[in-house]
């Protein structure tokens, strides 16, 4: 006997960051992860006037890969393995932290000067236990290498994994699926066949099993298939999920691990790296960066934030 197709509905927890909002869906008290996805944030949409910018100072990660997907705007990514990359809508920045990486995210100079609109989804995926301590890495996938999807009245992009007969070139060492679709008209599509899957409504509304899923809301779907999803014209959604994790994951600040002791070590390594000026320490600074984000409750770095410019890094890749 079949059960409900929606296991749980998660409403966003919204934070105002001064001119723009961030809505957090995962982790959630009743659902810590969906497949390997342990963190899910929706930034914006927001209009940034000239001179207003996003400046996320250098901060560390372990045990995860971060995935940035932009609907509007641009971000400059810098990390401690020497990457300097601008991401724009349609492309994927996939940063694998492994044993440890440091990165910053900032509004590029042109958008900072002239103003821009920003909207993005940022997710973290937990690495399999076999890869938690791998060497950090970074891959950029331009828009033209990602598969375009037509799910029947809704079109979009396959970010990672496989769905609707397509496979993404994005590499991940476990079962994963992430894609975004926009309804061209009122339509009904089938949810991808993924063991653990969530449906997030970026804008508009969807209906599953007679239940309306409103804007900025996440529905954890049952593994039962078929699972029809009704979409209103213009609705934008994201599916995310994959195979079940190979064990529980613990989150502490920006760190993810199967071991609580490893989280404690990461915090100690970050403090020691700050104290050592990032010279010969576990964590390094990203190119051109001098500021950092301390552990929660620790003192803020002295002085004003230094925004890197072209003299700090040479030419940007775009």
In the chain, what are the domain boundaries? 6-242
CA 68, 242, 240, 148 torsion: positive or negative?
A: positive
Q: Which two tokens stand for residue 106?
A: 């900032």
**Per-residue pLDDT tens digits of the chain, which is 318 residues long:** 478 999 999 999 998 876 678 999 999 999 999 999 999 999 999 999 999 999 999 999 999 999 989 999 999 999 999 999 999 999 999 999 999 999 999 999 999 999 999 999 999 999 999 999 999 999 999 999 999 999 999 999 999 999 999 999 999 999 999 999 999 999 999 999 999 999 999 999 999 999 999 999 999 999 999 999 999 999 999 999 999 999 999 999 999 999 999 999 999 999 999 999 999 999 999 999 999 999 999 998 876 677 775 433 322 232
CB-based burial label for 22 (10 Å; 0-12, 13-18, 19+):
middle
Could you read off the pLDDT of 275-295 as tens digits, one per residue?
999 999 999 999 999 999 999
Single out the residue of 207, 215, 174, 167 nearest to residue 191, CA to CA.
207
Sheet of 206-208, strands arranged across: 187-190, 228-231, 206-208, 211-213
Q: How far apart are CA 236 and CA 40, in angstroms?
A: 16
pTM of the entire structure?
A: 0.94
Burial of 185 (0-12, 13-18, 19+ CB in 10 A): exposed
Domain 6-242 belongs in CATH node 2.70.70.10? no
For the sheet with 75-79, list strands across it: 55-61, 101-106, 75-79, 84-87
Cα 293 to Cα 26, 147, 253, 300: the distances in Å are 22, 36, 11, 7
């Amino acid at each position: 006997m079949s059960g409900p197709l929606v296991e749980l509905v998660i409403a966003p927890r919204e934070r105002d960051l001064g001119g723009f909002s961030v809505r957090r869906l995962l982790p959630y008290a009743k659902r810590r992860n969906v497949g390997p996805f342990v963190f899910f944030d929706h930034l914006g949409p927001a209009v940034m006037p000239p001179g207003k910018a996003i400046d996320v100072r250098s901060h560390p990660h372990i045990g995860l890969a971060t995935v940035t997907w932009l609907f509007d705007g641009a971000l400059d990514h810098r990390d401690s393995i020497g990457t300097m990359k601008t991401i724009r809508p349609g492309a994927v920045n996939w940063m694998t932290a492994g044993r440890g990486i440091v990165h910053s995210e900032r509004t590029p100079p042109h958008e900072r000067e002239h103003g821009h609109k920003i909207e993005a989804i940022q997710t973290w995926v937990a690495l399999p236990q076999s890869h938690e301590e791998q060497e950090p890495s970074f891959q950029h996938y331009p828009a033209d290498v990602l598969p375009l999807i037509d799910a029947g009245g809704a079109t979009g992009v396959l970010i990672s994994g496989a769905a609707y007969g397509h496979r993404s070139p994005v590499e991940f060492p476990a079962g994963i699926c992430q894609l975004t679709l926009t309804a061209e008209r009122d339509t009904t599509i089938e949810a991808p066949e993924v063991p653990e899957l969530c449906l997030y409504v970026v804008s508009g509304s969807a209906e599953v099993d007679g239940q309306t899923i409103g804007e900025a809301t996440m529905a954890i779907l049952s593994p039962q298939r078929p699972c029809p999803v009704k979409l209103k014209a213009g609705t934008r959604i994201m599916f995310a999920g994959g195979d079940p994790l190979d064990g529980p994951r613990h989150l502490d600040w920006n760190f993810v691990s199967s071991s609580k002791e490893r989280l404690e070590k990461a915090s100690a390594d970050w403090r020691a790296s700050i104290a050592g000026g990032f010279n010969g320490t576990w964590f390094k600074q990203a190119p051109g960066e001098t500021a950092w984000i301390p552990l929660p409750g620790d003192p803020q770095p002295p002085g004003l934030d230094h925004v890197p410019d072209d003299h700090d890094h040479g030419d940007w890749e775009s």
